[in-house]
Every structure is written in structure tokens, then in C-alpha cells.
Amino acid sequence: MTERIVTVPNKLGIHARPAAMIVRAAVEFDCEIWVESPADKVNAKSIMGVMTLAASGGTAITVSAEGTDETEAVEAIIKVVRSGFGEEMI
Amino acid sequence: MLFKGIPASHGIAIGSAFLLKVEELRHARRSLDSPADAEQEIRRFKTAVSEVRHDLENIADSMGDVVEGRQILEFLLLLLQDPTINKEVESEILCEMVNAEYALSTTLRGVMEKFTVMADPYIRERVADVRDVGRRVIEKLMGTEKEALKNLDQPAVLVAKDLDPSETAGLRPGQILAIVTDMGGRTSHTTILARGLGIPAVVGLQGITSEINPRDTLIVDGIHGHVIINPTGKELKYYRDIRDKFQEAENLLQRMNPGPAVTEDGVRFELAANIELPHEVEFVNKLEADGIGLFRTEFLRLIQENGEDEEDHFQIYNKVASEMMPKPVIIRTCDMGGDKFRTGLDSVREANPFLGYRAIRIGLDRPAELSIQLRAILRASVHGNIRLMFPMVTHIEQLRGLRDLLGMVKNDLSARGIPFNEKMQVGIMVETPAAVIALDLMLPYVDFVSIGTNDLTQYTLAVDRGNPKVADLYDSFHPAVLRQIDTVVRLCHSRRKWVGICGSMAGEPLAVPLLIGFGVDEFSVAPSLIPDVKKMIGVVTTCAAREMAEKSLSIETGLKVRALVHSYVVGKYPEILLDENDWKTGG
């Protein structure tokens, strides 16, 4: 199990488009990946899950993974989140 | 495999099965019966998802560089493949044992609710995407079948649990041969739909949808409410015959004059039907025939393995007689042999089968078998107006033998307390010159006679009409035949017996005026000929007919007799009989 915490850096948070970017990154990996906010923990490969997490800008989220490529997976998701999804930062 | 249900719409259809799971069109909840069904639903769901994915990817490709559009589609694709949603649908199917459409719509409703309550307007807007994807999948789920129904390469029998008019409103009659459903009754939607389309339907066949596999051959008998899955060759042949006759009769009804057969001067003649299959009674009644003038019973040999089950005979006679009630039904005992199919048992190769072992010659040789048929006829005689007729009687001893046999059967029935009609009329076919010439000796033993013109012509002229080298010599208008008909009628009437005619001559337009003139009391023809014969009876006066009949007796050739009748009819009604074939051929 690999686990890392990251803060959502963009103003609008994880809405539909950012959620799609996370999911697209996640489905590249074989391992199980979760995204957890203070409110909920969801499957990172589920667009519905990531969207309903509704993590707003500035929220700390935990990215965790379990499986053979878990380290790379967590790394990739963190990278996408840190990029701010190409949007305006806080 | 035979299933019995409720006959909802009349007719016979034979075709391959098309299974429509119609409940899915409403994506209503349908409970599954077994884990295997659930597996099947999950497979169906997965197939639909992968089909939608394929569609979306194609659309995305066609968009090229339109970034906005591609993004939307990619989002839809992510939704479509969302493992959380898909797992929820699958577990809904498995745990709740419900159909895929229902499971999907329940799941998506949950997703949309979650989205709707989200604070983020960007996410709330995505509800429309969820709905879009859901709609695409559900359309696939139900559409695959609906689509297939539209694209049937050939018409099929629609098999469903139940049908709702809204779901089947687009069906065209040519597409669907018949409808078979688990549910429904005589007044259900399916029934109304089928009647509207004019196709046969059998409903209330509980559980039949699980017995039928796609492309199974089905016989749908909408008259009796029977459905046969993957019938035998024998059953197919039997039902094809009925179907064709049904079709023919339905067509005929379109050009029918209502009411009885009456000459122009108002004299009524009995116009009855020759039938071979019990189901024909229905059409005969629709055609307003005055009875069954000849019920051939050879078919029983075909549809039964042993051909000698009294109960089978009884059921059939009973059905025909009670449906014709109060009109008469003349049952002719088995007329095997001659040109008719024979069972292997009694076939010794004969040089002259027409002069050989046939009809009551077989019956008297095997009285036990004939007795079975006689018993059945007698038992049915209390349920309708049944008359009995023996074929091919040529010798008075035969007639005595038959009367004795009938007497014995009657005594046996009386002894057992089984009711029968004591006064059931008994007649003979007159179809040999012997029977004509010696008729006065036979008449005391019978209540009526019916002239079989086919055999009478063949035996009189010594012509086998099946032999093309001599077939042109076969002519029912030959003076020798006409004179015999005249003789028979005169003899019968002088003894106060009635006389019918059941050969194919009775259905020949040009023969009808002559037969009226000779004084024949009853015409019995193939159901399909009833409208034409009725029309023909309507155009002659008895007076003119008598004149023509009298004249015909001194005319030298059949052709000249035809010409005589032809000119009379055409003189009166130029619009009919313009077809030269009517009088040049016609045999």
C-alpha cells in the first residue's frame, strides 16, 4: 500500500474536467487506486466517484494504491493534481 | 411438442420463432428466475456497454480536432466505463434478481441524485451526461431486439411474455406471421393487436417463452389455441394443408354473396361442402354452406399412427357435427385404395387398383376396423345431424353386409347404454354404372344417395384420367354420364329418396344448370367453389334448366352440351363465363 497526501491547488477544485483527468490517469494502472477527502473515499478509476468527492480548491486529499504498480500510480495521480489541471490556481 | 393455450385470433401460421422480451421495452422491473438468468442479464448489459463505447469512439473519431466535442465524448466514455457504476448495476442484477434495464436505471437514478445535490454547478451540469450515457445503454439493451424485429430477413412468429400495443404499434402485418404469448386472454391487448393485423395468435400459454428458442419452427393454430414447437414432417404437412385452405377460404369470403343458394326464379337448392379436415368446418360455416355433403375420413389414417382409435374418430366427428348443428354432416366411411394413399398393410401390388381392393371392399374384409369407425359415428350422431355414407357399393350383398354390421354395432351400443341416433340416415355413393343400373334394388336399403361423378365418369367411360394419353376421353358431359345422372335422380325421386351430387362436376359452372335441370337436390363442392356455384345457381331459372337438361339427353357429344349451356348463360349474362376454358376443358 502506497499513500500520499496532496492539496487540491486550483480554484474550482475537482469538478468534472479535473475528475476526468484523474480517472484517465488512474485507468492506466493495474492496481487499485483510491482518492480520499475528509468526507469520502472513492475509487480513482470511477468518474462518478471522483466527481462526487467534490473536493474544492485547498482541500487536502489522500491518494492511495495497492497492487504491483502502486508507487507509479500514486506518483502519476499526484502529478496530475499538482498540475492544477491546467486551471487557475488558488 | 404441443402446447395448448387460448385461441385469440384465428388462422394458422407456420414460421420460425422470434423471441421478444417486451418487458424490457418499458424497462420495467422483471424478476429473474435463476442465477443463470442473472448471468445472462449481466452479459447483455456488458454487450450493450461495449456497443455504446464503440459508437462513442466512432463519433469521437469523426470529430477530429473539435476539442470541445471530443472532451464531452471522452467524459461520456469515462462514465460508461465507470467501474463503480458498472459494479453496482451487476450487483443489483445479481442480488435483486432483476433485468439489466431496471438495474441500470435504478443505479443511474442514484448517481444523478448524488450529482444534483452537489454544491458545484460544474458537477450538477454533468447530470445531463449521466442521463445521456444511460439512455444510450438502455436503448442498446432494448433496441437490439426491437431493431432485429424491424430487420427480420423473413417474417417470423413473435413470441413474448406479453405485448402492449404501444410497443408493437409499428409492426407491419407482413413482418409477423403470428403471435404467441405467455400471458393474455381473449380480450387482452395481444388479442386485439393480432386481430387487427389479421394474424393468428395463441395467448395464455404460460411458460412457453422458456420452452421456445430463437429460430425454432413453430406451428401456431389460432383456431384451437395450439402451438407446436419443432413439429414433425407429418404435422407440418397436415398444418400446411389447413393453412392453405384457411387462406383460400378467407379470400373467398371477400367475394361472397350472402344468403342461401336460390335460382333466379326463387327455388332453393342445398349447397353443401366437401371437406377433408375437421378444421374446415369453420370456413364452411362462414361460407354459409347448407351442410357437409361429403366428409372424407381417409385423413384419419394419415394423422394417426394406427388410424383406428375410436376416441379420436369420435372427437373429430363430434366436433364437426356439433359445429355444423343443425345442418347435416354426411360422413363417408374410409375410402382407401384406388388412387388414394394406402397403408403398407393391405398393399398387394394390384394391376388395376381402381378395380381392386378399395373402400368398403376393404371395410367388409376387415369388419373390426370398420366397426370402430361406425361406433364413433353413431356415438357422435347424438351431438349433431350426422348422416352415414358408404363408398363404392356395387353389390347388394355388400349393402346387406354393411347394414348388418351397422345393426350389430347399434345393438352393442344399446346393450352398453351408449346413446346414438336411431334414425340416422344411411346412404351410398353412386359411382359405378353397376350402382346406377341396379339402383332400384339398392334403394330400399338406403335413405339417400350421392353421385360421385369422378368415379362414375371414369368407370362409365373406362378412362383413367390420370393417364395423359387417354385423359381427353374423360368427360362428365358425355351422354352416357348425363343419362345415368338423369336415371339416378328419377329413380330416387320415384322412391322418395333424396339425391345429392358430390363429385367435381357439381362445382363446374356449366354443369350446375344441367344438374338443376335433372333435379338433383343437393350440391356438395369444395368450399372454395361455393361462391361460384351459388352465383351460377342464381343465374338460371328451373324452367330453363329443365329444358336444357332434357335437351342434353339427346345431344351427341359432351362438347355440344357445354356449348348449349354456355350460350344460354352468356345470352343472359354476358359478363360471366367469358373465359373459354370454362367450357372447352373442365373435365
Known catalytic residue: A15?
Answer: yes
How large is the C-alpha radius of gyration of chain B? 33
Domain B33-149, what architecture? Orthogonal Bundle (1.10)
B81, B82, B123 ranked by CB distance to A16: nearest: B123
| For range A52-79, the mean pLDDT | 93
Q: How far apart are CA A49 and CA B84, in angstroms?
A: 7
- For residue B472, the model assigns a pLDDT of 83
Three-state SS string over A4-67 comes to EEEECCECCCCCHHHHHHHHHHHCCCCCEEEEECCCCEEECCCHHHHHHHCCCCCCEEEEEEEC
Mean pLDDT, consecutive 10-residue stretches, chain B (587 aa), reads 84 87 51 87 91 85 70 84 91 90 86 80 76 81 63 80 60 79 72 73 86 85 88 90 76 69 92 87 88 89 63 92 95 77 56 86 90 95 96 96 97 96 96 97 97 94 83 91 97 97 89 96 89 87 95 94 88 55 40
- Kindly list the domain boundaries of chain A, sorted by start residue: 2-84
Pick the CATH number of B444-587 from 3.60.21.10, 2.60.120.10, 3.20.20.60, 3.90.1150.10: 3.20.20.60
Among B276, B266, B273, B279, which residue's Cα sits nearest to residue B297?
Answer: B276
pLDDT at B585: 41
Sign of torsion, CA B412 B413 B416 B422?
negative
Closest CA to B372 of B427, B317, B422: B317
Distance in angstroms (rounded) separating the CA atoms of residues B261 and B530: 9
Burial B90-121 (b: 16+ CB within 10 A, else e): bebbbeebbbbbbbbbbbbeebbebbeebebe
Give, as one character, the DSSP assignment of residue B349.
-
Which superfamily, per CATH, for B291-424? Phosphoenolpyruvate-binding domains (3.20.20.60)
Q: Which amino acid would we find at residue A64?
A: S
In three-state form (DSSP H/G/I as H, E/B as E, the rest C), the secondary structure along B506-551 is: HHCCCHHHHHHHHCCCEEEECHHHHHHHHHHHHHCCHHHHHHHHHH
Give A34→chain B minimum CA distance, Å.
12
**Closest by Cα among B213, B459, B442 to B358:** B459
- Give the homologous superfamily in CATH for domain A2-84: HPr-like (3.30.1340.10)
Contact between A16 and B85 using a beta-carbon 8 Å cutoff: no
B326 cis-preceded (ω within 30 degrees of 0): yes
List CB contacts (< 8 A) between A43 and chain B: 83-84
The predicted pLDDT at position B462 comes to 95
Task: Say if the Cβ atoms of B85 and A46 lie within 8 Å.
Answer: yes
Which of A15, A20, A32, A75 is an active site residue? A15
Taking CB atoms and an 8 Å limit, are B83 and A56 in contact across chains?
no
The pLDDT score that the predictor gives to residue B23 is: 41
| Interchain pair B84, A12: CB under 8 A | no
pLDDT given for residue B22 in this prediction: 42
Q: How many CB atoms lie within 10 A of CB B546?
A: 17
Q: Which residues of B touch A85 (CB under 8 A)?
A: none
**Superfamily grouping for domain B2-21+161-233:** Phosphohistidine domain (3.50.30.10)
Tell me the helix, strand and coil percentages in chain B, rounded to 5.
55, 15, 30
3-class SS at B345?
A: helix
pLDDT at B519: 96
Listed by start position, the domains of chain B span: 2-21+161-233, 33-149, 291-424, 444-587
Tell me the C-alpha distance between B263 and B102, whole Å.
68
Residue among A24, A46, A54 whose CB faces B82 most closely: A46
Contacts of B428 (CB under 8 A, 6+ apart): B389, B390, B391, B393, B399, B435, B442, B446, B449, B450
Strands B176-181 and B156-160: parallel
Residue with cell 364437426: B320
